[in-house]
Structure 1
């Protein structure tokens, strides 16, 4: 088996940096890449571990992308340079042309589902292309898969994410969220598919670790992928929220401005809105929570409701969306993946994911509710 040679694009970004820290511990060749070579070099100088580190300048918008990737001869390309809602598949195609497997951290609904259009080409090339190795659908899908066997019929999946306000935030993630605020998108709600709107349909979630948090609807890949994967589902929903109510409800008001046509696109204002949010970085907490609620009929025929939750303390929340790519990279060193292209579903077990987070102040639990 050839030595793993991993090209990490966006290596010095919010999630790329966390992946780099983990993979630098492994006995691999790790190429840290991005548009700014100086930042990649600074990151390399800060890392310790068994990996052989290199740096490279890679701009995913350059016409030379395919040749630049091929020149580095990777066996795996990890793409973290979002927002993916505005990307095409040129990085995945460049990886495929170079004979490399590919993983991205996309959470854009159409982008993640659309990677399957490359399936025939990936099979012909003998490589694996995976989109959505993030909190959704990577982790959320693993949670549902881990608990689905407890149901005779699974009827409902509702997920929510609420990061702590003092947790690091990035511009790409901000742009991705603002891109669907106030906009309609389809979801399976109470047995029928209908349009809902981004950052509306407010709801409160309660968790002992964080108290009460407000959340609102978001457009994510799960809304298509989970009903397809589990045909018995009659309800599939996803919400997210900001810990500080002034920020959460401010964005909710912004969603109405978009919905009524007063504002065309909030994502155009991502930089000033992100800068504004940083005025309140000292408020709130550094503890985030993700919940996945599953409901249906248990194996005994009685109604069953479960809540799986993960709590990330000390600002460790961004480690969660960075972990699926690490799990896949390590697994594929031992066992070659089947060739093809598709979303990040059924590719790792929940236990493997949580084991990769050992050592971080992150804990998960499942309760019957």
Structure 2
């Protein structure tokens, strides 16, 4: 069994759970472009999956797989070097894929974006460390690249007091309906944030703030939104405040989302059928407005602290014309580093705790990603 596994590892096989979706297929495309790995993408829709695999080229195969098929899932994991979990929404997911990877000795990445799933995954830290498995969660664009931008800023300061992360997405972001579900699922419950050195409860999509993003975005309204960064970043860096805010363009989507969060009864927002209705309506709307707004993303990371004994603000920004592709850069680059033997950190980690800044910067340059920097 061990010899067989070593032979499989030599072929650098990567399994992408949910790889026939827009985020997963974008990750597969990044791996095809930047590694020599054979990639298997999974999904429940056979016809769609085969078409996606054929479009990606002869290094990509499709495997029909439902996460409920646990033995089939285990078999697919066993023959892989890295498993990348892209099957959201992660609000609904348990950590069985990660658990199976640990049991089978396979490295693991995911594009998870919700604190409930991140918390479940981090409970396996000791087990992954004992098994020698590198498992990194939240590896997409936000969370993901955004977290590494924060680390980049923190390392430029002598002392850090405050971190302010703002995100804006144009229309659908080039992602599928799952992302729409995720947006409305994020409105279901109040959440706690780290402000002035203590945990405080906030309502989702509250406290609109206007933030200056690079062109073509300009000044955009952003709102408090529940993301894993709200608790992983305070755990990583000794800061007093961490702010995570999100907004959309066109701006009327912000007002619609705010209206739902502010006025709809809690039992409506927590109903899965209502979430599905909102996701489908939003998906149809954004498919139309994407023609005018584009499907890009912008990140703004402002780190406030001290440098040379004085108060300093380090601000980094990133803009990409396709949100799904940008997310794939975050995940694909980490998979590339693991394959090359440049990144190995047994345990389960949020990306900012696992990825050194020099490696982050190298992989972003290799993908043509420009991060603008400003001091004030």
Deviations 1:304-349 (A, max 9, x none): 0121100113xx2222222222112111122162322232223334
Which residue, out of 28, 33, 49, partners 2:37? 28
Q: CA RMSD in A?
A: 2.4
Offset at 1:172?
1.5
1:53 to 20, 37, 60: 60
3-state DSSP of counterpart to 2:327: coil
Residue 221 of structure 1 is matched in structure 2 by 228
3-state SS of 1:322 partner: helix
**Alpha-carbon separation, structure 2, partners of 1:126 and 1:15:** 28
| Counterpart position of 1:64 | 71
Shift of 1:55: 2.3
Q: What secondary structure does 2:263 align onto?
A: helix
Q: Are residues 1:340 and 2:347 paired?
A: yes
CA contact (8 A) 2:193 2:202 kept: yes
Which whole-Å deviations, capped at 9, do the CAs of 1:32-60 have from their partners, x for residues lacking one?
22212332222222224xx7433211211
SS of residue in 2 equivalent to 1:338: coil
1:303 to 289, 304, 311: 311
Deviations 1:162-202 (A, max 9, x none): 11237413222211221122631111123432111111110
Q: Which residue does the alignment assign to 1:196?
A: 202
Between stretches 288-297 and 352-361, larger displacement belongs to 352-361
Q: Report deviation, 1:260.
A: 6.7
Distance 2:129 2:266 in 1: 46
2:227 is the alignment partner of 1:207:
no
Counterpart CA distance in 1 for 2:172 and 2:81 is: 37
| TM-score (normalised: structure 1) | 0.89
Any idea what the Cα deviations from partners look like across 1:42-101, whole Å, max 9, x if unmatched?
Answer: 2222224xx74332112112243444425x611111110101111001111222233211
Maintained 8 Å contact 1:69/1:94: no
Q: Secondary structure at the match of 1:64?
A: helix
Extract unaligned runs of 5+ from structure 1: none
Corresponding residue for residue 364 of structure 1: 371
CA contact (8 A) 2:67 2:73 kept: no
Change (3 A) 1:280 1:10: same
Q: How many residues align?
A: 362
Where 2:249 maps in the other structure, the secondary structure is coil
